Each structure stands twice: as structure tokens, then as C-alpha cells.
């Protein structure tokens, strides 16, 4: 496969690129390396990719998804067989602070991805959606069969919009598209704006950690290798029209168009307080907790129903939380020289 990975300097994009190269594919990675979080971490991920034995099959280009002519030229030049769109303005809370960046990357940028795939007949587009699209839904575990029409953050609304935009292109142009709702991804080279990284930094510095909703939030924490495995398994499986799709009683996860939605989560929901306890054990240090109320835009609990993913691919994430946290802590200590 000749694959475009957008957001290749990002957390998931870096890991996916390394895996695709190891599997023998050629990859073009793009990223605008913006300063939403530490740019050096993004550069260091790219340096890791450049040092891989298969680096000859990887090319990186600094490019913004919102650059229409640049994106069109890239697609026309490369003739990608597959595209994985991971570049986005991520983060729920930041979407209350800088909404503009979400409109540009997640809506305008995603429109350019769709156009590039359409004009150049890309065989399969996979794109990152998010567990946050479940918004006000409380039925657990979250199923792709549920309707998700009540987002509680602009971030979630842009991700749901991506699913809808992709459906329209899939219907109109027969473009195979798969949307992936990732559930709280963690692991080595993880994002400094996410809880695991923030908590670790605070604990090793002896500073208090901010624990929202008194620690009674629940998350389906998913280890990075499990996310990558799910993506790699789905990549060659371009969907076709679903013959069982009934427009009179539409299943939210499928369509008469070659379009599907999958959850990729660990299928276990863990209370934040237990997550913190696991991190304390891995570090051998105690956290000082500053208990705070629920944050606007956050959801109380996430838990992924992964039946559709497992039925299609035979794969289910399996990394135990404590093992994944220990691997993160090992990486953190080495990277930050602690
Ligand atoms: N990490 C999670 O827990 C999680 C959960 C659900 C969904 N997701 C989604 O998965 C994808 C990857 O997430 P991640 O955790 O690797 O985040 P990340 O921020 O580490 O990676 C995204 C990358 O995209 C780049 N980018 C942002 N805007 C861009 C633009 N306009 N043009 C080009 N590059 C741009 C950033 O520089 C960054 O390197 C995102 O779409 C995110 O919304 C992540």
C-alpha cells in the first residue's frame, strides 16, 4: 500500500506510521507541527521515524490540511492507495478556548481530505472520529448502533461532522470510508495535554494534580498498540454497500453507501481514581490531589462496545491498564531523563 498518514508527527500518527513501515508499506506523512503542545516532542517523533530501518519508504512533508492547493497537489502527485486522516485539532477543553482552530483543521481540512480522495480515487479513507461524539448519551457501553446527535463540545461536533461529510462523499462518489471512534488513547510518546502525561509530570515534581468530578469520571483507556492494531486490520478492508441496510430503520453504523463507523476501545471502563492509583504504583510515588468539579464539555463516562470491530476483524484490544501505564512511565523516565 502507498499510504498517506496525516498528523504523522502526532501521537497516534507516529505509532501508526512506524507500524505501516515495519509491515512493508510506503508512507507519506504530513503534519503542520503546530504548537498546541510541545513542538519538540513532535520533532522527536519524526526523528524516531527517520531513524527506522525502513525510513527509505517514508517521506515527511510539512503541510497544513487547510492548504487547499497544497493538499490537491500532494494527492495528485502521490496517487495514494489508502489514506488515514489523523491530523486534527484534538482536545475537548481547548475547543472552548480556541474554536477557530477546530473549524480550520477539522472541517475545512477534512473537506480537503475528502476532495483529494474523490479526485484521485483513493481505495480506502480511514479517519479519526472520537468517543466524544456520544455526548449526552448515557446508554453504556457506547455502541455504534446508537444515534449520536447531541455533542457537548465543538470538538465532538466537528468529529461527528466528519462522519457525516464522509457519508455524503461515500454516497455520492462510491468512496469507501471508515470512521474510527477512538477511546482515550494512552502510551509511550503520548500527548502532554492528556491526563496521564499531566498527572505524571505533576507527581514527579511534587505538584498537585487536578482531579475533575472528584475522580468519579470513568474512561475506557485504550493502549496505543491496540489502536494501531485496529487501524492496521481495518485498512485493507474497504467497506462496500451494506445489503442489510434498511433506510426505513437506518442502522447508525452502516449504510447503503460504502461507509462504516467503528469504536476502538478497550471495552472496559475505569474510574479516574483507580487510574490514578495505578499510576502512583507504577511511579512508586503518591499524588497530591486537588479535587475539582466536572469541566464543561466533558462527559461523565465512556465505555466502548466493540462488537462490530471484533466481528469484522477478529481483533479486540487486550493490553491491561497497569501494563500500559508501566510502559508509559518507562518511556517518560527515559525521554525526560528522570
Ligand atoms: N488521543 C486520543 O485519546 C484520541 C481520542 C479520540 C480521537 N482522537 C483523534 O485521533 C487523531 C490523532 O490524535 P492524537 O492523539 O495523535 O493527537 P495529536 O495532536 O498528537 O496529533 C494530531 C497531529 O495533527 C497535527 N495537525 C493539527 N492540525 C493540523 C492541520 N491543520 N494540518 C496538518 N496537521 C495538523 C498536529 O500537529 C498533531 O501532530 C485526532 O484526529 C484526534 O482528534 C484521539
Q: Which domains does the chain have, with CATH numbers?
A: 2-182+223-266+305-317 (3.40.50.720)
Catalytic residue among 14, 37, 155, 186: 155
The CA distance from 73 to 56, in Å, is 22
pLDDT (tens digit per residue) in 4-42: 999 999 999 999 999 999 999 999 999 999 999 999 999
d(CA 289, CA 256): 50
Residue with the nearest Cα to atom 12 of ligand 1?
Answer: 86
Average pLDDT, the chain: 97
If one residue of 40, 87, 158 were mutated to test the ligand 1 pocket, choosing by the most ligand atoms within 8 A of its CB, it would be 87
By three-state DSSP, how is residue 35 classified? coil
Nearest to 317 by CA among 187, 211, 202, 215: 187
- Where does the pLDDT of residue 242 fall: very low under 50, low under 70, confident under 90, or very high at 90 and above? very high
58: CA distance to ligand 1 center in Å?
19
The 10s digit of each residue's pLDDT in 91-150 is 999 999 999 999 999 999 999 999 999 999 999 999 999 999 999 999 999 999 999 999
pLDDT at 298: 87
Planar angle of CA 129, 132, 136, nearest 5 degrees:
135
Is 134 in contact with 146 (CB distance < 8 Å)? yes
What integer pLDDT is reported at residue 37 of this predicted model?
Answer: 98
Report pLDDT for 297: 87
Q: Which residue is closest in CA terms to ligand 1's atom 15?
A: 11
Residue 8 Cα to ligand 1 midpoint, Å, equals 9
Q: How far is the CA of 227 from the centre of ligand 1 (A)?
A: 14
How many C-beta atoms lie closer than 10 Å to residue 243's C-beta?
A: 6
Report d(CA 283, CA 335) in Å as an integer: 15
pLDDT digits (tens, 9 = 90+) for 163-180: 999 999 999 999 999 999
Mark whether 262 is an active-site residue.
Answer: no
| Angle of the 321-335 helix axis to the 272-283 helix axis, nearest 10 | 50
Decide if 55 contacts 85 (C-beta within 8 A): no
Widest CA span of the chain, in angstroms?
59
Among 4, 8, 9, 12, which is best to mutate for testing ligand 1, by the most ligand atoms less than 8 A from CB? 12
Look at residue 276 in the predicted model and tell me its pLDDT: 97
State the Cα–Cα distance between residues 192 and 145, nearest whole angstrom. 32
% of the chain with per-residue pLDDT over 90: 99
Distance CA 106, CA 66 (A): 9
**Reported confidence tier of residue 285, pLDDT bands at 50, 70, 90:** very high
Angle between helices 109-119 and 68-78 (to 10 degrees): 30
**CB-CB contact of 262 with 309 (8 Å):** yes
In the reported structure, the alpha carbon of residue 244 is separated from the centroid of ligand 1 by a whole-number distance in angstroms of 34
Say what the pLDDT of residue 39 is: 98
**CA gap 315, 81 in Å, rounded:** 23
Tens of pLDDT, residues 49-72: 999 999 999 999 999 999 999 999
pLDDT tens digits, one per residue of 289-334? 999 999 988 889 999 999 999 999 999 999 999 999 999 999 999 9
Q: Please, which pLDDT band fits residue 272 given cuts at 50, 70 and 90?
A: very high
Residue 193 has a pLDDT of 97
Residues 6+ away with beta carbon under 8 Å from 216: 271, 272, 273
Query: Alpha-carbon distance 312 to 289, whole Å?
Result: 42
Amino acid at each position: 500500500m502507498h499510504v498517506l498518514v496525516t498528523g504523522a508527527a502526532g501521537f497516534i500518527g507516529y505509532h501508526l506510521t512506524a507500524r505501516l513501515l515495519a509491515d512493508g508499506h510506503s508512507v507519506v506523512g504530513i503534519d503542520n507541527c503546530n504548537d498546541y503542545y510541545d513542538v519538540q516532542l513532535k520533532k522527536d517523533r519524526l526523528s524516531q521515524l527517520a531513524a527506522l530501518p525502513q525510513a527509505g519508504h517514508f517521506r515527511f512533508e510539512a503541510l497544513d490540511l487547510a492548504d487547499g492547493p497544497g493538499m490537491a497537489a500532494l494527492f495528485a502527485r502521490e496517487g495514494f492507495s489508502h489514506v488515514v486522516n489523523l491530523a486534527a485539532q484534538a482536545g475537548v477543553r481547548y475547543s472552548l478556548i480556541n474554536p477557530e482552530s477546530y473549524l480550520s483543521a477539522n472541517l475545512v481540512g477534512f473537506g480537503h481530505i475528502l476532495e483529494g480522495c474523490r479526485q484521485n480515487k483513493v481505495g480506502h479513507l480511514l479517519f479519526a472520529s472520537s468517543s466524544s461524539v456520544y455526548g449526552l448519551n448515557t446508554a453504556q457501553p457506547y455502541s455504534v448502533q446508537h444515534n449520536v446527535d447531541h455533542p457537548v463540545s465543538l470538538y465532538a461536533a466537528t468529529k461527528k461532522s466528519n462522519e457525516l461529510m464522509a457519508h455524503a462523499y461515500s454516497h455520492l462518489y462510491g468512496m469507501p470510508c471508515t470512521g474510527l471512534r477512538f477511546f482515550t488513547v494512552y502510551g509511550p510518546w503520548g500527548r502532554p495535554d492528556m491526563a496521564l502525561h499531566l498527572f505524571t509530570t505533576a507527581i514527579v515534581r511534587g505538584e498537585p494534580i487536578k482531579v475533575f468530578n472528584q475522580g468519579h469520571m470513568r474512561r475506557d483507556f485504550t493502549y496505543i498498540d491496540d489502536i494501531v492494531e485496529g487501524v492496521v486490520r481495518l485498512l485493507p478492508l474497504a467497506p462496500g454497500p451494506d445489503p442489510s441496510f434498511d433506510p426505513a430503520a437506518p442502522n447508525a453504523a452502516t449504510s447503503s453507501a460504502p461507509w462504516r463507523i467503528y469504536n476502538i476501545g478497550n471495552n472496559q471502563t475505569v474510574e479516574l481514581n483507580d487510574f490514578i492509583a495505578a499510576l502512583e504504583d507504577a511511579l512508586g510515588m503518591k499524588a497530591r490531589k486537588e479535587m475539582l468539579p466536572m469541566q464543561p464539555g466533558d462527559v461523565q463516562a465512556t465505555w466502548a462496545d466493540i462488537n462490530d470491530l471484533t466481528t469484522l476483524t477478529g481483533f479486540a484490544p487486550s493490553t491491561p491498564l497497569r501494563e500500559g501505564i508501566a510502559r508509559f512511565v518507562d518511556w517518560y523516565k527515559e525521554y525526560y531523563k528522570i
